[in-house]
A = this chain, B = another copy of it.
Amino acid sequence: MNKIGKYEFVAEPFHCDFSGRMFLGHLGNQMLNAADFHSTDRGFGMKYLMTINRSWVLSRLAIEMEEMPSQHEHYTIETWVEGAMKFFTSRNFCVSDGNGKVYGYGRSIWAMIDTETRQPTDIYSIDNGAINAWIVDDKPCPIEKGGRVKMSGNDDLVCTIGVNYNDIDINGHVNSVKYIEHVLDLWDIDWYREHHLKRFEIAYVAEAHQGDLLNFYQEQTGEGEFCVRLVKSDPTAGVQAEVCRCKLLFVDG
């Protein structure tokens, strides 16, 4: 089996935004699906991991797109493991039209947790370090790695929403991509008419669950550059905790 997984998709019209370009959230979910197809076919997918009380947890995701596929266009997501350490693996993505035109790239970092203790576990313990057989370290992924999202503290609470049924995925907590969608909803269509989202980066800190409130704190950190941190509050317990931080770069488009 090839070390690089390659999956074909179509930009279905009802997964496209007002401009006929695919929603970034939908692309993000297809990247996660491609990651799961790739790992399932190679013996370390989530469905198998659930049987041994393990799960992959997305720790960071960065997506950088020159262009988004338009409705009805076919696109290909290639995904591969770039490296593995005891507690983290890095997995990359390339989104192309399958004929040499690259739409963009993604970089992700994953931890493996024990689903009972929610603590990180040793990735090499799965099938005697089998993941090492799948590492591809010579395929380029020419976008920057995600770093720490630094914010000055001069951010504004711009939005608060509740967590609902459709936000929760098979892991029992808010789907990683739902945060991205909620953050993208902080800008309106007039903004998207004039700006292309070149890069979206998210670092996950804690999980949010149904019943939590998500508070969005936003700060502009450069020209077209915004950082957003999400803080969950549990209205019954009265506790607050940071859930994730995002950094967005818009360019004129």
* Chain A contacts to B: CB under 8 angstroms: 12-20, 23, 25, 29-30, 32-33, 36, 40, 46-47, 71-72, 164-166, 168-170, 172, 175, 177, 181, 184-185, 187-189, 192, 210-211
Contact = CB atoms under 8 A, between A and B. Distances in A.
A16 B171 CA distance: 10
Nearest to A185: B164
Tallying the copies of this chain within the complex gives 2
A130 to B, nearest CB: 20
Contacts of A29: 12, 14-15
Contacts of A72: 40, 47
Contacts of A166: 17, 23, 25, 181, 184-185
Nearest to A33: B12
Contacts of A23: 166
Contacts of A16: 169-170
A15 B30 CA distance: 9
